[in-house]
Structure 1
Amino acid sequence: MALPILYSLRNCPYAMRARIAIFKSHQPVALRDVVLSNKPPEMILASPKATVPILVLNEESEIVTGAVSEADTKGKIIDESLDVMLWALHKSDPHDLLHHETPETLVQMLSFIAEFDVEFKRCLEAYKCAKRYHETNISECRAACEHYIKQLEARLAQHEFLTSSRESLLDIALLPFIRQFARIERQWYLQSPYPNLKKWLNSYLQSSMFTKVMAKHPLWLDSGEEVIFVGR
């Protein structure tokens, strides 16, 4: 039976978090690494948005979009990163990242992720641009990001992970964007007053999971070879 196909870009934070969830779920997919300057026609045909990640389901499977489940999805496309994460973890969640015993926790996590994806991401993009173009408002842009960073630091002061003492969907959904934040002004970040956040981020960046998720593969258009991507 054909595996689902995942179009991915190695350093895109949205594709990154989709790969992390798939890795954590132990669900195998056929990984097709691409670059957006040379998009495969098959990828554009699958989703006119043509932005990664795109998951093409080649078999009957269950798709989860937000809190809605839909059966008989042969040939269907999932082209939002959070929906890819939920698809994978609803298929298999050996680490209980969705906290199945407390459904209200998932609702809270999804709400926080939605807010973060819009508001923090907007501040993060402004911060990245201020650094790239040597703008004079970089401190203000950083401070706007810190409003959200402080919320995460407060959570991590209470427990090891963002939701509780156990890892959750919230951790892996936010991880790629906090990684980006930490890389914009590296020296400032290393001296910043966020010890719990730095410990949390380092534990991920130094993990074997992250090394495997971030492994570099030949571009699919160049090699024609699909990589079987699965957590172990």
Structure 2
Amino acid sequence: MSAPLPILYSFRRCPYAMRARLALAASETDVEHREVLLRDKPAEMLAASPKGTVPVLVLPDGHVIEESLDIMRWALDRNDPRGWLAPGDAMFELVAINDGPFKQALDRYKYPNRYEGEDALENRARGLEILTGLEARLAGSAFLCGEAMSLADAAIFPFVRQFAHTDRDWFAAQALPRLQAWLAEHLDSPVFKAIMHKHPVWQAAPAHDGPSLTGAPS
């Protein structure tokens, strides 16, 4: 009998879940994928992680990892054949900018009605300023931390994707040729295409109270 796999609760379009899936794929870690609807989260996921956000990774020993970066590091610490951790801790400074000020600007640009008093175009400009910094980094190397893809690229590009797709024509018109090419390369990569495979929404197996008596003799 095969050993139980880690269970990944995920939502296909969530950028946090995307980057967790990327690291799991890059580390060649097999998981039981459970696709969820965010408006109808399964009780099993909420029991494991009451905060109710994806991704959530439940290990066979019952340990729960409920932050996407922690899932990435767990997977790559186990196996890192592509060298995604090679740049070291310095790359997490870039990820912190992405997860902090860039994500804040992205949310207020993409969903301005959710934030009273916020102007979408002002937040777009804030996001563009951060992306201009990434453009400058890419002037010196093919990827954000050197000539090979790293955790930083995998952790950041799903959010750049979301920013770019908010208004594709506007994004294409910006003076970001290196960043646009970097994004296109990631979107066309085999690993990204693999982790964007569509899974049916997971449902728990129905509970059985005992054998059915239908058709039993009286």
- Smaller-chain TM-score range? 0.7 to 0.9
Poorly superposed stretches of 4+, deviation over 4 Å: none
C-alpha distance in 2 between matches for 1:82 and 1:12:
14
Q: Does 1:106 align with 2:108?
A: no
Alpha carbons 1:131, 1:184 under 8 Å: kept: no
Distance 1:202 1:175, change over 3 A: same
Alpha carbons 2:109, 2:120 under 8 Å: kept: yes
Q: Match for residue 142 of structure 1?
A: 124
C-alpha distance in 2 between matches for 1:132 and 1:43:
26
Alpha carbons 1:130, 1:141 under 8 Å: kept: no
Q: Match for residue 151 of structure 1?
A: 133
Aligned residue type for 1:78: I
Q: Does 1:189 align with 2:171?
A: yes
Q: Match for residue 34 of structure 2?
A: 32
Alpha carbons 2:108, 2:119 under 8 Å: kept: no
Q: How far apart are residue 139 of structure 1 and its match?
A: 2.8
Q: Match for residue 96 of structure 1?
A: 83
C-alpha distance in 2 between matches for 1:130 and 1:28:
38
Q: Match for residue 18 of structure 2?
A: 16
The structure whose Rg is larger is 2
The CA RMSD over aligned residues, in Å, is: 2.0
Distance 1:47 1:107, change over 3 A: same
Q: Match for residue 78 of structure 1?
A: 65
Q: Does 1:53 align with 2:55?
A: yes
Aligned residue type for 2:120: I
Q: Say how many residue pairs are matched.
A: 203
- SS in structure 2 at match of 1:181: helix
C-alpha distance in 1 between matches for 2:39 and 2:109:
24
- Normalised by the size of structure 2, how large is the TM-score? 0.88
Q: How far apart are residue 138 of structure 1 and its match?
A: 3.3
C-alpha distance in 1 between matches for 2:93 and 2:131:
17
Alpha carbons 2:9, 2:54 under 8 Å: kept: yes
Q: How far apart are residue 110 of structure 1 and its match?
A: 1.5
Q: Does 1:214 align with 2:196?
A: yes
Unaligned 5+ runs, structure 2 = 207-218
Unaligned 5+ runs, structure 1 = 59-73, 100-104, 225-232
C-alpha distance in 1 between matches for 2:179 and 2:205:
39
Q: Match for residue 151 of structure 2?
A: 169
C-alpha distance in 2 between matches for 1:77 and 1:129:
30
Q: How far apart are residue 2 of structure 1 and its match?
A: 0.4
C-alpha distance in 1 between matches for 2:13 and 2:170:
22
Q: How far apart are residue 222 of structure 1 and its match?
A: 7.5
- Normalised by the size of structure 1, how large is the TM-score? 0.83
Identical-residue share of aligned pairs (%): 46
Aligned residue type for 1:35: L
- SS in structure 2 at match of 1:31: strand
Alpha carbons 1:54, 1:79 under 8 Å: kept: yes
Q: How far apart are residue 5 of structure 1 and its match?
A: 0.3
Q: Match for residue 115 of structure 1?
A: 97
Q: Does 1:2 align with 2:8?
A: no
Q: How far apart are residue 141 of structure 1 and its match?
A: 1.7
Deviations, residues 145-191 of structure 1 (Å, cap 9, x unaligned): 01110111001111100000111110000011000010011111111
